[in-house]
Amino acid sequence: MYDKNNIKKVLSIAGSDCSGGAGIQADLKTFSSHGVYGMAVITSVVAENTFRVTDYQDVRPDIIEKQIDDIFEDIMPDAVKIGMLSCREIMLSVAKKIKKWKPNNVVVDPVMYAKNGASLMKESDINALISVILPLADLVTPNIPEAEKISGIKIKTFHDMKRSARLIYKSGCRAVVVKGGHDEGNDAIDILFDGNEFYEYCAPRISTKHTHGTGCTFSSSVAANVALGFPLIKALERTKKYISTAIANAIEIGKGHGPIHHFYEMYKKFFSERNDD
C-alpha cells in the first residue's frame, strides 16, 4: 500500500544529459517510475544529443561536496546511485562524502563512454575508479566494454564474463553484475556475482538502435528496487523486466540513438483512461 509519508528516497550522483535520455535525467525518471523520491547531485554538465557529445564541463569538487552534504544533512537516502565521475579529483570528493555519511545500498555505474562512443572519463583515471570508488559499492554494474577496462581482460565468451566479474569483485565491492547488452546472440544475458555464486538474468535481445540511457537506467532501477526493500537478486529480476520493457518501447526521437521509455506502463494506462473519458 502506498504511504506518502513513508516514501523511499534515492540519490543519484552523476552527470547531466541535456537531451534527457541518460545521466541524472534518466535516473530521476527511473526513480519516479518506481515510486521513490529522487534527488540528484550533478558532477558534470554534458552537452549532448542522440548522436553526439559536443563537450562537458565538470562541476567544481567543492560544489559537489556541498551538494552531497546538504542532502545528507536533511534527507537521508535509502540508496545511492553513482554514475559519471569524469576525473580523479571528483572521485576523491565523492568517496570522502560516502565514507563520511555511510549510506546503505550504494550502486556504482562505472560510466566511461556515451552511447555514441565518446569518452566521459579520463583514461588515466580508471585506476582511481577501481581503487577509490569500487570498494565503496554494494553493487557495480559495468557493461562489457567497461568490464574489460576494469578487469583488464577481453570478453569474448560467457566464461570471460564470469572471469571478469570475479576480477572486478576483488576490487572490494560487495557484488558485480556484468551486463550483456553489448554482446551478440539472441538473448541479452546479465551475470551477477555476489562473491559466492553466479546468477543469470536473461531476456530476448531487442533489435533496435534506440537504447540511449540503458546503463544509467539499469543502475538507477536497481538502486530504487533495493531502496524499496527487495533483496539484490529480486531487485535485479525486477530491473531486467523494467529495462526490457523500456527498450522494447523506446522513443524514436532525434537523429541518432533515441531514449528508452521510462514511463511506458504509466503512459499506456494514462492514455487508455483518457480515451475512456
Residue 276 has pLDDT above 80, yes or no: no
> What domain range includes position 129?
7-276
Report yes or no: 41 and 28 within 8 Å, Cβ to Cβ.
no
215 is annotated as an active-site residue = yes
How many whole angstroms separate alpha carbon 50 and alpha carbon 22? 10
* Residue pLDDT, tens place only, 150-174: 999 999 999 999 999 999 999 999 9
pLDDT greater at residue 53 or residue 13: 13
- Identify the active-site residue in 8, 81, 179, 240: 179
- Identify the active-site residue in 23, 215, 239, 240: 215
The sheet that has 139-140: what strands, in order across it? 53-58, 37-48, 9-17, 79-82, 106-108, 139-140, 176-178, 187-193, 198-204
244: in domain: yes
Give this prediction's pTM: 0.94
83 is annotated as an active-site residue = no
216 is annotated as an active-site residue = yes
- Identify the active-site residue in 30, 43, 141, 214: 214
- Identify the active-site residue in 216, 217, 240, 258: 216
1: in domain: no
C-alpha cell at 240: 531486467
123: in domain: yes
pLDDT at 181: 67
CATH classification at residue 258: 3.40.1190.20
Q: How far does CA 219 lie from the centroid of its chain?
A: 3
58: in domain: yes
55: in domain: yes
pLDDT greater at residue 187 or residue 185: 187
102 is annotated as an active-site residue = no
2: in domain: no
- Identify the active-site residue in 38, 213, 217, 239: 213
pLDDT at 93: 98
* Residue pLDDT, tens place only, 220-245: 999 999 999 999 999 999 999 999 99
Residue 184 binned pLDDT confidence (cut-offs 50, 70, 90): low
Report yes or no: 208 and 247 within 8 Å, Cβ to Cβ.
yes
87 is annotated as an active-site residue = no
Place of cell 555476489: 194
What's the number of domains the chain is made of? Answer: 1
179 is annotated as an active-site residue = yes
Report yes or no: 94 and 88 within 8 Å, Cβ to Cβ.
no
Residue 218 binned pLDDT confidence (cut-offs 50, 70, 90): very high
C-alpha cell at 246: 523500456
pLDDT at 266: 78
268: in domain: yes
